[in-house]
């Protein structure tokens, strides 16, 4: 299972606000059953099979175009661990356990 951070940024818009684009992306995510996701202040974390995530990221990349953007920059960071099971919650728990 992969954990992917994705940030979709519309360019060439008349407004500096991005929340309507983020909301549009999260409407896509809410309809995807094969993944888990978490909104963060600077992007979104998606957890699932890598091929599925790539298909979802393609859909997310299209959202700003559908809302009138003329250019879109999408950044993806992939954590694909194969030596043991990992998920978003486990990664956070691991760090928090070292804070005690």
- The token duo for 66 is 């559908």
pLDDT at 24: 97
For the record, the structure tokens of 42 come out as: 């600077």
User: Does the reported pTM lie above 0.75?
Assistant: yes
pLDDT of residue 86: 86
Distance of alpha carbon 25 from alpha carbon 84, whole angstroms: 30
Contact (CB, 8 A) for 63 and 20: no
Mean pLDDT score of the chain, rounded to an integer? 94
Higher pLDDT, 13 or 51: 51
Q: How far is it, in rounded angstroms, from Cα 53 to Cα 16?
A: 28
- The length of the chain is 100
2-97 CATH: 3.30.70.930
């Amino acid at each position: 299972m992969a954990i992917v951070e994705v940030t979709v940024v519309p360019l060439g818009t008349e407004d500096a606000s991005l929340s309507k684009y983020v909301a549009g992306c999260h409407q896509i995510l809410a309809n995807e059953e094969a993944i888990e996701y978490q909104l963060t202040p600077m992007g979104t974390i998606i957890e699932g099979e890598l091929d599925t995530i790539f298909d979802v990221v393609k859909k997310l990349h299209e959202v700003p175009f559908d809302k009138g953007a003329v250019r879109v920059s999408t950044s993806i960071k992939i954590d694909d661990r194969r030596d043991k099971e990992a998920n978003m919650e486990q990664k956070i728990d691991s760090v928090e356990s070292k804070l005690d």
